[in-house]
Structure 1
Amino acid sequence: MRASRTIIALSVLAMVAGCSTLNKLNPFAKEDKFGPAKLEELKPGVPARIVWKHSIGKAGVNVFTPALADNSVFVADADGNIERLDAATGKLQWRSKAKSDLAAGVGVSPDGKLVAVGGLKGQLMVFDGSGKLLWQVQASSEILSAPAVGNDVVIVRTGDNKVTAYEAADGKKRWFIQRVTPPLTLRNSPGLVIANGNVYAAQPAGRILALALGNGVPRFEVPLSEPRGATELERVSDISGAPVVYENDLCAVSYQGKVGCLDLGTGVARWSKPASSDVGVGVDQRFVFVSDEKGAVQAFAREGGASAWKNEKLAYRRLSAPISYGRFVAVGDLEGYVHFLSREDGTVLGRVAIGGGAIKAAPVLAGSNVIFQTQNGTVAAIAVE
């Protein structure tokens, strides 16, 4: 099977006995029938420009998401390099080398004083704001997504669907909780987000789990979508990427499921609509944005979930999670292009090529710039005049 974020993790190997190829179990295999949509010429196009570019190592089969804190951008690669860059200029502030290859990162505390990454064999490594290793512990399984880091706690979700919290000062285990994993799940970097005194964890089978930071007591566990279908493959409906907190809303999307927003405190559903994505959502004051697995970009009203627009001009270009950026929505694609769509009606208004291979990581905003990281290690800050 082609290595990508859409690879299915098989937790019961006996299920595939007798299959001639794992591609038969890949829900995205239908994409092989279609090439990526050709890019239309834009006249004149909005003046997007690259403010700075930086090169770090390749991501390999995993996805490394840049993180922003204390006016700095933190990036990592599969070879164990961790770097801190000035967010405005891209200037390297420090580089550190982990003791092993990496599979996940980067997680950063709000003040930029704690930096966490996941090792290839399940090691959790935490560094201080100057790049010095503070501690390392062995997690129960592989870490596929960036750790969530608070000022006094570091939290990871491992491949065995265990969420574990560690004391930021010394790595002592604070609490853990484990949920049953379905026979098939997406290997799609399921994320965590800290807010409102809780950590919110993306879960298989379309569920979101909220846990108290102090002791791990469940606040709520609710379905955004319910698995449907006659086969295990059809029933894959994992929450994709990290849930997004905006004001009192907790918004997320699942594969073969729904997009929607929940009440941040109670988990009560505000709205949900059919959707399917393996990369997560973007949220702003007015809209929730989704890049689906067929390359369509959609906008839903954050209040009520009414469909605002849908653009299918980027079909099968394997888009990143979208991000709201001023009057635009920005998404990356499989060829290293960043596309800027109108926030109001979805029209493609501009693009810029940053090179460096596919863009799978979720972008981040840094002041007036939006920052993308490619699978080949190019980190670029882009601005639109």
Structure 2
Amino acid sequence: MRSFTRLYRLAVLGVATASLASCGLFTQKDARYDPAPLTQYAPTLAVAPVWTATLGSGGGYGFIPHVVGDTVYAAAPSGSLVALDLATGAVRLQIATPPLSAGVGSDGRTIAVATQKGVVLAYDAQGKELWHAQADSAVNVPPLVSDGIVVVRTTDYRVQAFDAATGKLKWNVQRPGPALALRTSIQMIAEPQLVIVGMPNGRLMAIDAASGAVRWDSTVSSATRGASDLERISDIVGAPQLIGSTLCAVSYQGHTTCFDAAQGGRALWSQSISSSTGMTTDGQTLYLADDHSVVHALGVKDGHSLWQQSALLNRQLSTPAVVGPAVALGDYQGYVHFLSRADGHLMARLQLSSDPIRSSLVATPRGVLVQTDGGKLILVGVRG
């Protein structure tokens, strides 16, 4: 197991590098893959930082701020876990942890992160450690806390649930996986009595939160195409989106697909649009940046294209967030771009850092939360 895990880690770390290099983003040998220069336009949206918090050092895909009520939970790889007031950024709780690989999940009572040694750490709302438990392998996906359990997805294709009060392992689900997997923004979601998780083989599972029984298992896209392991990567990325009984997901080098969650995951429609970061929704429309950072808006009902925006081509866009009249996306130079939800035109942009923004943006009633690779967390307010 240790040998497999080590090989898997090397593969995961190499895939993102290999994928970007094959696209010319590192070598710049092919001008078709150069990041688009920033264009001039007339801003129609007022955006500005409301507060900034320093979390620690580092960041990346496994570190996504999490909001419960008026509290923001966030973590940094260097070993820091904080709870902040959403309105002001004031620190409510700060915990020194071992170096982390992913975080953070919380239901407001239990707060969970994962260390670089595959240990799941759980704290109560006052910051007292409740328990720690060893996952079967590394954890690069933020833990999910819901229904009295803490759920992690490990790098050996397991989904493990620990009792939120005691840390006792309650159930374990494993599926066979491909030789390579993509390290990117991935999140599990919870619905009443269900855990919904995307896997690195292009499949989406609904798991009973109490028993670990797989209620249904559906295919977003197949990983059978391609001559090499790299070309066959078909990971489900970002967080699945549930709109009523319609559940939507997107895969890398695959498809955007929606299912009827009430009818055992029956496929409703599928479009040949893939992404390396994931999607968001406003309840009527799905928004996502494809593998080349072309932003798409698709109707939830039937997947028809509403608009496309290619002005940010190859700018390595983050998972988007819907905020006010706009959809916001971060890029590799620390910019956040705001596009009109109605037609995709550029409404505003703001450079928050020189560090990349790889963490998923998070929409809140106060604005959009942006976590940079430099360990900063910023709330950006939106007016207009």
Tell me if both proteins adopt one fold, taking TM over 0.5 as the criterion: yes
Instruction: Tell me the residue number matched to 1:18.
Output: none
Please say if 1:36 is aligned against 2:35. yes
**1:295-324 Cα distance to aligned partner (Å, 9 max, x none):** 111110011000111111111111111112
Please say if 1:241 is aligned against 2:233. no
Give the Cα–Cα distance (whole angstroms) in 2 for the partners of residues 145 and 310 of structure 1.
Answer: 29
Contact (CA 8 Å) 1:117, 1:124: kept in 2 or not?
Answer: yes
Give the Cα–Cα distance (whole angstroms) in 2 for the partners of residues 97 and 43 of structure 1.
Answer: 44
**Which runs of structure 2 are paired with 1:270-309 in the superposition (5 Å)?**
270-309=268-307
SS of equivalent residue, structure 2 residue 255: strand
SS of equivalent residue, structure 1 residue 130: coil
Instruction: Tell me the residue number matched to 1:340.
Output: 338
Deviation at 1:186, TM superposition (A): 1.0
Please say if 1:209 is aligned against 2:205. yes
**Which runs of structure 2 are paired with 1:169-318 in the superposition (5 Å)?**
169-227=165-223, 228-265=225-262, 266-318=264-316
Give the Cα–Cα distance (whole angstroms) in 2 for the partners of residues 62 and 384 of structure 1.
Answer: 24
SS of equivalent residue, structure 2 residue 216: strand
Deviation at 1:363, TM superposition (A): 1.5
Give the Cα–Cα distance (whole angstroms) in 1 for the partners of residues 299 and 274 of structure 2.
Answer: 17
Deviation at 1:68, TM superposition (A): 0.2
Letter in 2 for 1:247: G
Deviation at 1:45, TM superposition (A): 3.8
Aligned residues: 367
C-alpha RMSD over aligned residues: 1.9
Letter in 2 for 1:81: S
**Which runs of structure 2 are paired with 1:64-213 in the superposition (5 Å)?**
64-98=63-97, 100-109=98-107, 112-213=108-209
SS of equivalent residue, structure 1 residue 28: helix
Contact (CA 8 Å) 1:12, 1:183: kept in 2 or not?
Answer: no
Please say if 1:26 is aligned against 2:26. no
Structure 1 residues 97 and 106, CA gap change in structure 2 (3 angstroms) = same
Give the Cα–Cα distance (whole angstroms) in 1 for the partners of residues 63 and 354 of structure 2.
Answer: 14
**1:42-84 Cα distance to aligned partner (Å, 9 max, x none):** 3244211111111111235653100000311111001110000
Give the Cα–Cα distance (whole angstroms) in 1 for the partners of residues 57 and 110 of structure 2.
Answer: 23
Instruction: Tell me the residue number matched to 2:55.
Output: 56
Contact (CA 8 Å) 1:339, 1:350: kept in 2 or not?
Answer: yes
Give the Cα–Cα distance (whole angstroms) in 2 for the partners of residues 139 and 12 of structure 1.
Answer: 15
Give the Cα–Cα distance (whole angstroms) in 2 for the partners of residues 204 and 377 of structure 1.
Answer: 27
User: What TM-score results when the alignment is normalised by the length of structure 2?
Assistant: 0.91
User: What TM-score results when the alignment is normalised by the length of structure 1?
Assistant: 0.91
Contact (CA 8 Å) 1:10, 1:185: kept in 2 or not?
Answer: no
Deviation at 1:330, TM superposition (A): 0.6
Instruction: Tell me the residue number matched to 1:384.
Output: 382
Structure 1 residues 10 and 304, CA gap change in structure 2 (3 angstroms) = farther
**1:116-163 Cα distance to aligned partner (Å, 9 max, x none):** 001001000011112211110000000011011014111001000011
Higher alpha-carbon deviation: 310-319 or 350-359:
350-359
Contact (CA 8 Å) 1:122, 1:142: kept in 2 or not?
Answer: yes
Unaligned runs of 5+ in 1: 1-8, 16-21
Contact (CA 8 Å) 1:335, 1:357: kept in 2 or not?
Answer: yes
Give the Cα–Cα distance (whole angstroms) in 2 for the partners of residues 184 and 78 of structure 1.
Answer: 23
Letter in 2 for 1:231: S
**1:197-218 Cα distance to aligned partner (Å, 9 max, x none):** 2101111121101110010111
Letter in 2 for 1:106: V
Letter in 2 for 1:58: S
Contact (CA 8 Å) 2:72, 2:86: kept in 1 or not?
Answer: yes
Percent identity between matched residues is 36
Contact (CA 8 Å) 1:356, 1:378: kept in 2 or not?
Answer: no
Unaligned runs of 5+ in 2: 1-5
SS of equivalent residue, structure 2 residue 195: strand
Letter in 2 for 1:74: Y
Structure 1 residues 73 and 89, CA gap change in structure 2 (3 angstroms) = same
Please say if 1:374 is aligned against 2:372. yes
Give the Cα–Cα distance (whole angstroms) in 2 for the partners of residues 49 and 217 of structure 1.
Answer: 46
Deviation at 1:383, TM superposition (A): 1.6
Higher alpha-carbon deviation: 223-232 or 254-263:
223-232
Letter in 1 for 2:313: A
Deviation at 1:192, TM superposition (A): 1.2
SS of equivalent residue, structure 1 residue 241: strand
Letter in 2 for 1:50: P
SS of equivalent residue, structure 2 residue 237: coil
Letter in 2 for 1:164: Q
Contact (CA 8 Å) 1:62, 1:103: kept in 2 or not?
Answer: no
1:331 is matched with which residue: 329, 332, 336?
Answer: 329
